[in-house]
Structure 1
Amino acid sequence: MLGSQLREPWKSIQAPYGVQSPRPQLAPLSPNLAASSIQSKEELLGPVRELTWKFPEVPAEPEQPDINFELQQPRPSDSVAVQCWEDGVHVEVKQDFFGTGQLLEPSLLSLGGCGVADMDAAARVLIFHSALQECGSELV
């Protein structure tokens, strides 16, 4: 009797090849289930807003202001003076070598292997003296 009571809620469905499979009977919706909690197909689709996205516009290149530019020819350097003698050379180098106001550090300069021999502080000139066979020079 218990077996027949348990089988009543289940209805058998004839499957292919004569196999029967039990299926539960769906119970009707309970009356306490609020209608607002059930979504209908129309609510899911709802009104769709039109797509308003667009590709960003490529910004126009800003106009370049007119600049008065004049190409200047390089002028000969007067930062170095050289005197050649039979037995040596005399070189004078301005400390403001590039004309920028930045003075060269005498200890950082050399003529071949010889450093600054003398300095004229008033004229800001570094002086090099070298015999022809000194400071790494070679007779060719």
Structure 2
Amino acid sequence: KKSDWGSGFEGQWTVKNTGTTALSSWTIEWDFPSGTAAGSAWDASLTKSGNHYTAKNLSWNGTVAPGASVSFGFNGTGSGSPTGCKLNGASCDGGSVPGDNAPSAPGKPTASDITDTSVKLSWTAATDDKGIKNYDVLRDGAKVAT
């Protein structure tokens, strides 16, 4: 809920693309408990079947570049919270996609070939069922290499 005024509320969903390729379209589905309902929406096409809602992108906001986000909102009534949220068929609760396990931790780094201006770092690679994209090397909390 973005805002609540007792007898109603303004709801908002945000789709953030954390992947490496653009989304060409998006569909969000969720359920509200009995007594809670969504009404008019903006920046999405909203349909309802019982307590199940489906929001689809409009022609101008379907493409979401990597790292970008798009939001839509709606007016609602009742005090319930959404459940069963799905983005393009997968869980949209910020958790992992079904079948996507967290990667293992990489091994402890070792430094070699140390000079005044460089160092060679090496470690045992992490493993993951979807593969490891890259590692970020931090110095004092700031990224210095990828």
TM-score by length of 2: 0.24
TM-score for both structures, normalised by structure 1: 0.25
Larger radius of gyration: 1
Q: Which has the higher strand share?
A: 2
Bigger helix fraction:
1
